Structure formats: structure tokens, C-alpha cells
């Protein structure tokens, strides 16, 4: 794939995510009332058990690794209360 897609075929090649990117947890939602959700790299929400069943990995371990990486990189994550 070129650096900058120009044709329809090149643009469409950008759409599909490799499996390894899809299993990376992209979010952790903990509502005040109700069960927590984990968001995968495709933006789909799962319970922890369903996430493990779908992707075969524990999202919590991946999320901890991401948070540790971001902390080392100087990023300050905030908890958002809605």
C-alpha cells in the first residue's frame, strides 16, 4: 500500500483491521449502575467474559499494559465522570 492512498482500491485496503489490532482493548467503560464493558479495537463493546471468548485474551491485562506505556510516555489519563 502506498503512503497516501489515492485510488478506491487503495482506500478500501485501509478499512480492514488486522486481527492483532482488533484484539487490543481501546476502552474500559465502568457505569455507575450496571456491568462494566470493554471496547475492542473495532469499537465493539463486550463484557469481560465475552471479550475473552471472542478474542481469547484478557482485556484487563492489555489495558494495564496500555496504561503503563502511556504513563512512561508522559501521558496523563483522566477518569471521566458522566
Break the chain into its structural domains and give their ranges.
19-72
| DSSP class of 45 | E
Three-state DSSP state, 22: helix
Each residue's pLDDT tens digit, 36-81: 999 999 999 999 999 999 998 999 998 988 888 888 888 777 666 5
27 neighbors 42 (Cβ within 8 angstroms)? no
Q: Indicate if the pLDDT at residue 1 is higher than 50.
A: no
Q: For the whole prediction, is pTM greater than 0.85? A: no
| pLDDT value for 82 | 56
State the Cα–Cα distance between residues 75 and 66, nearest whole angstrom. 11
Phi, psi of 10 (to 5 degrees): -65, -40
Amino acid at each position: 500500500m502506498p503512503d497516501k492512498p489515492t485510488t478506491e482500491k487503495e482506500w478500501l485496503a485501509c478499512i480492514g483491521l488486522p486481527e492483532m489490532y482488533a484484539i487490543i482493548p481501546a476502552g474500559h467503560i465502568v457505569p455507575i449502575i450496571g456491568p462494566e464493558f470493554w471496547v475492542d479495537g473495532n469499537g465493539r463493546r463486550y463484557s469481560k467474559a465475552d471479550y475473552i471468548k471472542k478474542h481469547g485474551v484478557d482485556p484487563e491485562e492489555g489495558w494495564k499494559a496500555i496504561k503503563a506505556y502511556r504513563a512512561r510516555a508522559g501521558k496523563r489519563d483522566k477518569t471521566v465522570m458522566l
